[in-house]
A and B are shown apart, each in its own frame.
Chain A
């Protein structure tokens, strides 16, 4: 339920008619939403066979690639928007991918689980790694090989020379603009390549 609301809230950041590259596009539902509601075109990148097949099934153009190999396939600024939603925590080379996102697209939009959300802090205070609805994995079997926070990402964005022009949290299908690092389970950043 909140997943659908999150999708719509993030989709609002994408200008109508954009050419979109969705990195880690899953089963293609974001691209399908952008195609059907905002007249967007573009490609999804996905590594999992089942997801790639689901994309083909819903008529989304999907390119099966391992994002850790980079985006050599795409020229500089060849997309209006590059999405990296719920993806960066799975990547080995997070920084490189972020720079690639900014290189390939005019606008980059990133979302990821915020480990500084207060229930996670409580878990860590209690001496254990968080296991919550947003982060349902044990530390030893989690696909999230990068754990980061809203505030940490701001530092990385600065280091990569990205100009962040919007950022907020998402919690239970709502936008959180006050103290998102504490109050939101998901962080969203919209940025452009800085000058």
Chain B
């Protein structure tokens, strides 16, 4: 299918400090973003796409290095989120490592690289930064905010704290908070990074090293949790790399080991260790019910003017359908318009990034409904 072709990111500078949930302040920051399609005369056709852990503002099209955007199968001309009808915005969140201000950049107060001193950012802080960016683009109300996984949490937060600034929320493969097991996986990943001797308390930049070993292990454990057991069995099974067993505890025997090590190597070559810590923490902290006496329904009372599409995948055990149903229940309790699709897909959490006719069919149908409401 057609694609957007070459896309160019923009840098937006914000000199007004961003107050953070922790009480700290991000003094001065840049956000990288990309936009696709054309904003209509009434500025009513804008859709914001929020990214998850390992993604960026580069949602669709090809960047200067020829890299395809992470949701290119969903976003583009004639695709379910059709850039011929919508003005689509991708933004990189502060604290990330793909162009927006992050721990690898200098702290303006000291002139030194932030490193581990970069303030802890939350889903709410990201959304506040996105609100400013959307304002800067001259948009007072988005047609929709869309996100998967951690991006879905951001989309939900828009409706909880800025409900008048959007009409529709599309939350895919997400959860109202992380379970203990989910936090546990994040903690294993973080320990792998901070115990790497090359981490240097988060100030490894000054030492000219990268805690690659920690990042590799963090990515390996993360990757396992994004896949379903059956899909992993189907893809790798007990296949061996060599014809004969080596009877070695150190060498790669099974194809799955080879695959995970490869994923870890690739990841550690481009991802920032402090960003990994920050983003997994943001996941852990997200819990909108906490501020409403533990009631998710009470939290969503603010979103009565919004409409929702919630999507989950049957084999996603990291963000399971049961967690999406909690969101649906909280919306139903508030009599809020919601459609919920539970897609039977074998790919686990990763399914939200893949092309599936039933998944993309329902996304297309929902966006067509939004497009029909948009006045040109």
A positions within 8 Å CB-CB of B: 19, 41, 43, 49, 52-57, 59-65, 73-75, 78
Contacts and interface: CB of A to CB of B under 8 A. Distances in A.
A52 B339 CA distance: 9
Interface in B308-347: 309, 325, 328-329, 332-333, 335, 337-344
Given A73-B328, A74-B332, A63 B369 contact: no
Given A62-B340, A63-B338, A64-B340, A57 B365 contact: yes
Contacts of A78: 332-333
Interface of B: 307, 309, 325, 328-329, 332-333, 335, 337-344, 358, 361-362, 365-366, 368-369
A57 B369 contact: yes
Contacts of B341: 49, 52-53, 56, 64
A106 B323 CA distance: 29
Contacts of A19: 335
A49 B341 CA distance: 8
Given A49-B358, A63-B328, A56 B339 contact: yes
Contacts of B333: 75, 78
A19 B332 CA distance: 12
Contact of A56 (B332, B342, B369): B369
20 contacts: A41-B335, A43-B338, A49-B344, A49-B362, A52-B341, A53-B361, A55-B339, A56-B365, A56-B366, A57-B369, A59-B369, A61-B307, A61-B338, A61-B339, A63-B338, A64-B342, A73-B325, A73-B328, A74-B332, A78-B333
Nearest to A45: B340
Given A52-B341, A61-B339, 11 more contacts: A41-B335, A49-B341, A49-B344, A53-B358, A53-B361, A53-B365, A61-B338, A62-B339, A65-B340, A65-B342, A73-B325
A73 B365 contact: no
Contacts of A54: 365
